[in-house]
Chains A and B, each alone.
Chain A
Amino acid sequence: MEAHSESFKEASAFAEAGESSEFKTIEDIAFYRRQKRLLPGNSPYHGLLDTIELSDCRAKLHLLNEENKVTLFMELFVLQNNVIRIKVNELNPLKPRYEVPDVIINELPSQSLIMVCRDGLSVTLATVDGGTQILIVAKPFRMEVREHGQMSMSVNSLGLLYFEHLRKKSQSEDRSERGNSVGGKRKCDTNKESEDVQGLWKEQFHEFIDTKANGPTSVGLDFSLPGFEHVYGIPEHTDSLRLKTTSQEEPYRLYNLNVFACKLNSRMGIYGSIPLLLAHKTKKTLGIFWLNSSETMVDISTNTENKGESGRVKKLKEDDDRPLRTDVRWMSESGIIDVYILLGPSAFDVFNQYSRLTGTQTLPPLFALGHHQCRYTYKDESDVKQVDAGFDAHNIPCDVIWLDIDHTEGKRYFTWDKTKFPAPREMQEYLRTKDRKLVVIIDPHIKVDKNYSIYCEANSKKYFVMDKDGEEYQGSCWPGISAYLDFTNPVVRNWYADKHGLDQYKDSTDILFVWNDMNEPAVFGAPELTMPKDAVHAGGWEHREMHNLYGFYQQRATAEGLIRRSGGKERPFVLTRSFFAGSQRYGAVWTGDNVADWSYLKISIPMLLNLSITGISFCGADVGGFAQNPDPELLVRWYQAGAYQPFLRNHSNTDTKRREPWLFGEENTRIIRESIHERYTLLPFWYTLFYMAHTKAEPVIRPLWVEFPEETNTFAIDDEYLIGEALLVHPVTEAGVTEVSVLLPGKGEVWYHLETLQRFNGDQILLTSVTLDNIPVYQRGGTIIPRKTSVGRSTKHMETTSYSLHVALSSENTATGKLFIDDGHSFNYQSKNQFLLRKFSVKDNTFSAVCADERGWYCTECLVEKIHIVGAGQPYCVTTLGPDMQEIPVQFNYNLEKCLLIIENLQFNVGCDWTLRLKY
C-alpha cells in the first residue's frame, strides 16, 4: 500500500480516513460476526411438509425456526434451461423486505413440478420429464438437487440457513439506546454491551455510527457441491482465478468500495460485485447466482483442506472417507434469499443460463475495441491536439482520447472549464476529422452549488439520496461538498439520461462518450469511503439494501442517455468502475486504480478472467498502471498484454510522468506500435467474438478450463488464457524474462506459434524463449481467424480495408471460423438485420465461405484478399469456381519450411459465398 503516498488523486481521501484501517476487516462486520456464531450442525429450521403446495409451476413450503418460532416462506422453481430458483422470505414480515429489482431481465418460464415421493420425513419433487429431482428433508431442513439420479448439490446440509426476521425494537433495547444518547457515557450494562457487539440496531466503525432503522435483517445459506474442487467467479477481488478456501483466511467480501491501489491477493471488497460463483469438475460446471445487492460475504471450504484447531472444522472429520466436496456459504446483510442454481452441465450452458437471467454483453461500437488514450489529466485543448497529432506522427492507431475530472468547471459534470477548454465543440470537430472520439468523465456526485443548474434542479426535485433524518445526504468528493443522485429511482434515471442530450449537455457532440468513475459511490471522509448504509433511497429503502447496485444504475442511466441522444439509433459506450450482475448490458468495466508494478500486470489476468466468466466480457486494466511510473520494459509488456485484452486503455495518474507510447525511446515505441497494430489487425476477430458474447453469451476471453473442461491441469491456470477458442495468450509479467513456460492444452490437438508458425502438440508444457519484441501467442489448430491486411489511424479508417483469413489446420486438416460485420456503430444489425455473419471452413481440402445467419445482410465492398493456411501440404493446384461453375486456378505460394500455403490476390467479396479447392 505504499502506493498511497504516491498518489494525489485519492490521497486526500486517504489522508482523511487514516492510514490502513479505512476499510473494515471481518471483525468490524456485525452481521458476519452474528452469522458466524451459527456453526455447522443441525439446522434449527424445520420444513413443514404439510404446507407444501404445488401450483403456478412452483412449490411453496413453510420453514419453521424451532428456536424463535418464526416461520419462513420458501418458493421453489425449476426454470427452463436447467435453472432452479430458491426464494426464501418471512411468511409474515412486519413490512416488505427488499427484493433486488432491475437485474433480472427475463422471468424464465418455470416447469410444473410433481411430487414423486413422500413420507413423513421428506418429499421428492420432480420435473415432468423426471430429469431434475429435488429432495426436501423436513427435519432438520435440507434439500438435495439431483439430476438423472446424480446428486448435483445440496442446500442447507450444513444447517447454515440464517434469517433475521424483522422485529420491533424491544423496550430494553430502546431504553438502553436512549439512555445512551442522553447520558452520552458508556455505562457498563452487560445487556447493552452484547447488543453493541451484535450490532443489531446500531453499529460503529471508527467514528461512524450506522443506525439500523429496521434492526437486524441478515440472511444466509450454505450449498454443498459434491465432487467439486474448483470454484471461480464472485468478482471483484485482486485474487487468483480459482477461489481459495476461507476457513483459515478472510472470506470473500462483496461490497463496492473505492480502494486506491488495492492490496493484491486479497478478498476485500473493491469497486464492483457480481454474486455469481461457478463450480467446475470434469463433465460438469454449475453456477450459484445469489441475487442480493446488500453487503455479502462468501465462505468457501472443502472437506479435503487442512483441518485442525477449530472445532468447527473438526466436525467434518467424520466425512474423511466421503468423496471430495466444496461448501459455499453466502451471507448477506439484508434483503431476502433469492438464489438461482445454474445447472450447466457445461460452462457454456452456465454462461447461457446466466445470460438469460441478466442479459448478455452489449455489443460495443467498433471504435471502443480500439486503442484508448487517457490521462489524469490532459490539460487543455492544445494538449489534446498534441496527443492526437503524436499518434499520427508515430503511426500508432488510436480511436479515443479521454478527459478526466479537470476538464470541467470545478468538477461540475456536464460543464467545461472555460480557460482550458474554451472551444470544446471545435476540439471535438477536430477529432472527428481524424475519426477519433472523445470520452469525458462523469461521476455520480453533484457539487452542492446553488449556481449549478444540475444541482439546483435535482435539489428542487428531491432527486438526491437522503440521509437517515430525511435531509439531502451530502458528502465530500472531488468538487467538495456534494450530493448524490438517486439512480435507483427510475424518474431520476430518466431525467439524468436526458442530461446527455446534445441540446442539454452544452458543447457536447455525438462523438462524445462517457466514463462513470467513483460510482461505488465514493465519498471522502465517510465510512469505508462510501455512502453510509443508513442513507435513504426512493421508496424509503435504506442504502444498505442496494449499495452494490449504485454503480450499475448510474451506468444504465448513462447508456440510456447516449442511446436517446441519437434517437435510439447509435450504440453507446460507457465505461464504469462499479458494477453488479447485469452491468454487461450497459458497457465496459475496468479494474480501477492499479499500480505501475509487475504484480498488478500479473493480477490483471485472473481479475479479467473472473469478470469474463461472470458476464462482463468488455473489461480491461489500465495499461502501464494508473499510479506510479512504469519502467519502459513494464510498459511494453503491459501494452503487449493489453493488446490481447478486451478493453485497451493507457491511463495514468496526475503525479506520474507523461505516458504517451512514443515517450520511451524509438525501440520501445516500435514494439508498442507493433502490438497495437496487431490489435487493430485482429479487430475483425475481436469484433466477431463480441458479437458471439452478445448473442450467445460466450465470454470473449476465457480461462483454459472453459475450453478444455476435462483436462484437470488447466483448472487452476491463470497466467494465460484464450481469446475466443482460437488464440492462447501468455503475457510476460516479470522483468528481464528470457524464457516462459506455457501450458498448451488439448490432448490430440495442435497449436501454431502466431508469428513463427511453428507447430506444437497440445497437452504439453512448453518452455519457450522470449525477447522484448513479443509475448507467446498461439493459434489453435482447427480455427480460422479473420484479420485486416493493414491498419489505419483509427478503426473507421479500416472500414474498407481487405481481409485476410488465417487458417490453422487441426490434426484432421479441418478448421472453422466466423466473421461478423456491420456498420460498427448503430443498432441496425438488430433493428434492420443489417449485418453479415460469415462462416469459413476447411474440410476435405476445400475452403468454403458461407452465410452463418440468413437473417442478416449488409452491403460491403470489402474483399477477402489473402488466405494463409498453416499446417497444409503443398497442393499442385488451387482453384475456385467461376460463375458458370468452371474451375479457375488461383495464384498461391507454398512455404515448405513452415507448411504454409499462401493464396493471394483473391477478389472475393466478403459477403459472397465461395469455395477454393486445394488439389493434391
Chain B
Amino acid sequence: MAVRVAALGGRSLGLGLLLLLVAAAAATEVKRPRGVSLQNRHFYEENIPFTCLDGSKTIPFHEVNDDYCDCKDGSDEPGTSACPNGSYHCSNAGHRSEYIPSSHVNDGICDCCDTTDEYNSGATCLNTCKEQGRKERENMQKMAEMAKEGFKLKQQLIEDAKKSREDKQLKLAELQKEKANWEIQVESLRTVKEAAEQPEQEAKDTHKNAWDEVQAAHNLEKNKAKAAETFKELDDNEDGFITMNEIQTHAELDSDGDGVVSEQEAETLLGGVSHVDVASFQEVVWAGIQDKYKSEAVTETPIVPEVPVEGGADSSREVDHEDHRKDEDEDDYGEGQDEGVGDDDSEDDGEEEEEEEEEDGAGEDYYKNRPSHVPEKEGTEEEKMPAYDEETQVLIDVAEKARNEFSEAEKLLKEVESSIGSIEKELLVDFGPDGEYAYMFDQCYEMTTNEYVYKLCPFNKVAQKPKHGGSETNLGVWSSWAGPENNKFSFMKYDHGTGCWQGPNRSTMVKLSCGRETMVLSTSEPSRCEYLMEFSTPAFCQEGVHDGSDHDEL
C-alpha cells in the first residue's frame, strides 16, 4: 500500500510541472497594464475609468501608471515607483511570479528574474527565469524523489515501530508477571529473615549487657584509682587531708572565670568544708573536679589537627576547577573566535574565582579530614568485647543467611521494576503520529564542524564537544515537540543545557526535514546560547508534498 501512495505522489508532481510550463507560456500573451497580476487584470479595463482598489477614488484610465500616485493604496501605479505603498507584479515566465515593493521598480537593481521591474532604469538585467525555474524544478524533482524514497522508508519505520512497540508491550507484560512473582518471593523471604533476626538480636543483647557490666566495674575501679592518685598529688604536705590551700594551687579549677581559685571557690569544691580525707575526696570532691583537673605530671600534648596533605581530595578539586575554567572559556569564545584574543581578561576572571574557590575548598577539606582521625584513636584505647559464644554465633549465622537471601531477591525485584520503568517511559514518548520517530530512540547522530563535534541524541539530549579535546557541553535535554500547531513534529526542543557564563541555560531547536538519511545537516547559534540544528530523517517525509503546484497564475 505504501508503494502505491508514493507512486501517486510522483505522478502529481509531473502534472504540476507540465501545468507550470503551460502557464508560463500563456502569461505573456494576456494584455494588461504593467505590474498587474493576471488575477487583478479585470480591475484595469482599458478605457474605462479606474477605481482605486480601496474604492477611495476614480481616475481616467490613462492616469494608471502615469508615474503619479493618485490612490492611497497605490493601486493606480502598479507598474511605477510613484506610490510609496504599492506593489509590482512580475510574471517571471518560466519561473514563479511574485510581488515586489513599488519602490524597487526602476531603482537600478534587478529584482524580478524576468527583468520587467527595470524597464526604464538603464540597469542591464539578465532574464534568469528559465534558468532559475529549471534549477528550482530540478531541485523540486530531487526533493520529490527524496520524498518518495523517504516516504517509502518511513512506512518501514512505521511498521518497525509498531512491531517494536508491540514487542515492548509484550515484554512489559512479561516483566509485570515476573515482578509479581518476585514480590511474593521477597515478602516470604522477609518473613523468614525477620523470624531469624529476633532470636539473634536477643542473644546479642544478652552478650553485650554482660560485657557492659564488666566494663562499668572496670571503669569505676579506674576512676577510683585516678581519684586516689589525684588525692596524692593534691595532698602536698602528705598529711592525708586536702585543704583549701592545696586545691587553690590548681587555677584550672576556677569556676567564675577570673583565673584564680578563691577560698570560697575552694571551699565549695571541697563540699563546704575546709579539708577532706581520701574517702570523702573520692565520694564528694572528685566528681566535681575530674573534668577540669589537670595532672601535675607532664601532660600529653594536645592533638593538633593535621594539615591536609596535597593530593587525594585536593587534587580532584583542582580537576574540577579546570573543568569549570574550560566551560567558561567555551562560553566566551566558543563561537569560533580567535584564540588568545581578549582572553587576558577572562583569564583574570578565572583567577579571581580560583582564589575564592580555594578558600572554600580548603575549608571543606579541613572538616572532611578531621573525623577520620578521631574514632581510630578511641578505638585503639578501647578494650575489645569478647567473641560471641557458640550458641549466639549459630543464631547470627542463620539470620545472616536469611538476610542475604532476602536482599538478593529484593535486588532482582528492583531490576525488574527498573526494566518496567524504562519500557514504560519509552512507551510514553510521543514518537510521532505513527511512531515513525521511534527508531531514533537510543541513537545519537553526530556532525563535525571546524571546531566542534555536535551530537544529537533524539529524545535525550544535544551536546557539543571541542574537536581537539575538552569536555562536552550540554546544549539541552529533551523537552518536547515544538513545531507550530499545524506541524507539531517539525521541530524538537531541547532545553536546560549547561548554563552560559552570565547568561541563560543553553537550548537547541532541532528543525526536521525530509531526507533519505537520518543525519544532522547543520548547526548554528542564531542567538547566544540558543542553537539551531537542521536534521533530516525519512520519518519527516510526507506523501506527495513536493508536487510543484505553487500558486502560479493559470
Contact = CB atoms under 8 A, between A and B. Distances in A.
A407 to B, nearest CB: 11
A420 B346 CA distance: 23
Contacts of A865: 68
B102 A790 contact: yes
B74 to A, nearest CB: 9
B136 interface: no
A478 B342 contact: yes
Given A478-B341, A793-B104, A434 B109 contact: yes
A910 B15 CA distance: 56
A790 B345 contact: no
B83 A790 contact: yes
Contacts of B39: none
Interface in B60-105: 68-70, 81-84, 101-104
Given A8-B332, A790-B82, A790-B103, A480 B352 contact: no
B341 A476 contact: no
B338 interface: yes
A16 B347 CA distance: 10
Interface stretch (A99-107, A276-284, A341-349, A409-417): A409-417
A170 interface: no
Given A411-B341, A479-B341, A658-B527, A12 B349 contact: yes
A314 interface: no
Nearest to A677: B84
A656 B342 contact: no
Interface residues of B, number: 40
Given A395-B103, A433-B109, A417 B344 contact: no
Given A8-B332, A11-B502, A406 B337 contact: yes
A12 B502 CA distance: 11
Given A395-B101, A524-B345, A655-B503, A480 B340 contact: yes
A379 B527 CA distance: 11
A480 B502 contact: no
A832 interface: no
Contact of B82 (A15, A395, A525, A789): A789
A594 interface: no
A500 B112 CA distance: 38
A706 interface: no
A905 B68 contact: yes
B310 interface: no
A148 B414 CA distance: 103
A654 interface: yes
Nearest to A477: B342
Contacts of B101: 395
Contacts of A11: 502
A80 B526 CA distance: 59
Interface in A1-29: 5-8, 11-13, 15-16
Given A656-B528, A789-B84, A12 B69 contact: no
Nearest to A801: B81
A410 B109 contact: no
Contacts of A395: 101, 103
**Which among B108, B345, B501, B503 has the highest number of chain A CB atoms within 10 Å?**
B345
A419 interface: yes
A5 B502 contact: yes
B348 A410 contact: no
Chain A interface mostly helix, strand, loop or mixed?
loop
Contacts of B343: 480
B81 A792 contact: yes
Interface string A879-919: 00000000000000000000000001100000000000000
A797 B108 contact: yes
A781 B348 CA distance: 61
A334 interface: no
A439 interface: no
Interface in B126-184: none
Residue with the greatest number of chain B CB neighbours at <10 A, chosen from A395, A419, A435, A905: A395
Interface string B328-341: 00001001111011
Given A409-B338, A655-B528, A16 B84 contact: no
Contacts of B349: 12, 15-16
Q: Which one of A16, A395, A792, A793 has the highest number of Cβ atoms from chain B below 10 Å of its Cβ?
A: A792
B265 interface: no
A261 interface: no
B341 A13 contact: no
A791 B348 contact: no
B345 A13 contact: yes
The B contact surface, by secondary structure, is loop
A540 B338 CA distance: 37
Contact of B340 (A410, A792, A905): A410
Contact of B84 (A6, A435, A790, A797): A790
B318 interface: no
Contact of B338 (A410, A481, A525): A410
A244 to B, nearest CB: 34
A625 to B, nearest CB: 16
User: Which one of A406, A419, A525 has the highest number of Cβ atoms from chain B below 10 Å of its Cβ?
Assistant: A406
Nearest to B528: A655
A790 B352 contact: no
B107 interface: yes
A904 B529 CA distance: 55
Contacts of A13: 345
A576 interface: no
Contact of B342 (A6, A411, A655, A791): A411
B345 A16 contact: yes
A258 to B, nearest CB: 13
Interface in B304-359: 332, 335-338, 340-346, 348-349, 352
Contacts of B503: 6, 8, 655
A413 to B, nearest CB: 13
A655 B335 CA distance: 12
A681 interface: yes
A299 interface: no
A525 B84 contact: no
Given A409-B338, A410-B341, A793 B103 contact: yes
B342 A480 contact: yes
Interface string A475-512: 01111110000000000000000000000000000000
A480 B348 contact: no
A167 interface: no
Contacts of B109: 433-435, 793
A656 B69 contact: no
B502 A797 contact: no
B528 A791 contact: no
Contacts of A379: 335
B84 A12 contact: no
A657 interface: yes
A793 B107 contact: yes
B68 A791 contact: no
A173 interface: no
Interface string A38-71: 0000000000000000000000000000000000
Contacts of B530: 657
17 contacts: A8-B501, A11-B502, A13-B345, A16-B352, A434-B109, A524-B344, A524-B345, A525-B345, A654-B528, A655-B529, A656-B528, A789-B84, A790-B83, A793-B109, A801-B81, A904-B68, A904-B70
Given A12-B348, A410-B338, 19 more contacts: A5-B502, A13-B345, A15-B349, A15-B352, A411-B338, A433-B109, A476-B345, A478-B341, A478-B342, A479-B342, A480-B342, A525-B345, A655-B503, A656-B528, A657-B527, A789-B69, A790-B81, A790-B103, A865-B68
6 closest A-B pairs (Cβ-Cβ)? A12-B345, A790-B84, A395-B101, A410-B338, A15-B349, A410-B341
Interface of B: 68-70, 81-84, 101-104, 107-109, 111, 332, 335-338, 340-346, 348-349, 352, 450, 500-503, 526-530
Interface of A: 5-8, 11-13, 15-16, 379, 392, 395, 406, 409-411, 417, 419-420, 433-435, 476-481, 524-525, 654-658, 677, 681, 789-793, 797, 801, 865, 904-905
